[in-house]
Amino acid sequence: MAIYRFKVSFEDYDDIIREIDIKSNQTFMDLHTAIHKSTGYKQDVSSSFYVSNDQWIKNEEIAFMPAQRKADRGIALMEKSKLSSFVDDPHQKFYYTYNFDRPYDFHVELVKIIIDEEKGKEYPYLNKSVGDAPRPLGLNTAPVVTPAISDDDFDFLNETEYGIEDAEEHLDDVNELDESNGDSEEESSDDSESDEFSEDEHFGDDFEKEDY
């Protein structure tokens, strides 16, 4: 099973960074949970990932505890959405908003694709942690997970295991493998939710206060 390594940074505190390894067939809910095991933030609050471009412009939304209006439109849900279904670039980016009531915004970027999982390692896995997360107002915090000591260089500027062309070829292989090994019924449900959302959801809705 291929492993995605994501760099996660606060939009307003870009010196606070987490590096998380996660299986390509795990869900956005698994990534959401892993992020906040590392920040110590409460996990059961309304939050969303957005597929984005290099300028961090929000596009398709993948939500946890969405507003009723979004749920009625069939928005993609974190717990039902596999990461591999939304990764089509070796440097895929997601804009991530945690807790719409008191939001923190994050940049989530794919920085490495690892061919095989490491035996004995439990995923998601916190590979590196730099800086303490700011304390959220009005929320309880949980114990923070810290990464194991690693001798790897801390380089996010060009930290893809392969060249871009090789990574793109490997990404195609990962997606084909996940499609062949996944549960067909679950994937059909995911595709349906994603298609319905793409027809109905618009960029502007993401910023309407009443949605939250």
Contacts of 112 (CB under 8 A, 6+ apart): 4, 5, 159, 160, 161
Write down the pTM of the prediction: 0.68
Q: How far is CA 145 from CA 41, 120, 125, 132, 142, in A?
A: 11, 18, 10, 11, 9
CATH number for region 3-206: 3.10.290.30
Q: 157: pLDDT confidence band, cut at 50, 70 and 90?
A: very low
Residue range 56-109, pLDDT digits in tens:
999 999 999 999 999 999 999 999 999 999 999 999 999 999 999 999 999 999
Least confident of 35-39, 48-52, 200-204: 200-204
Separation between Cα atoms, residue 132 and residue 34, nearest integer Å: 16
Going from N- to C-terminal start, the domains of the chain cover 3-206
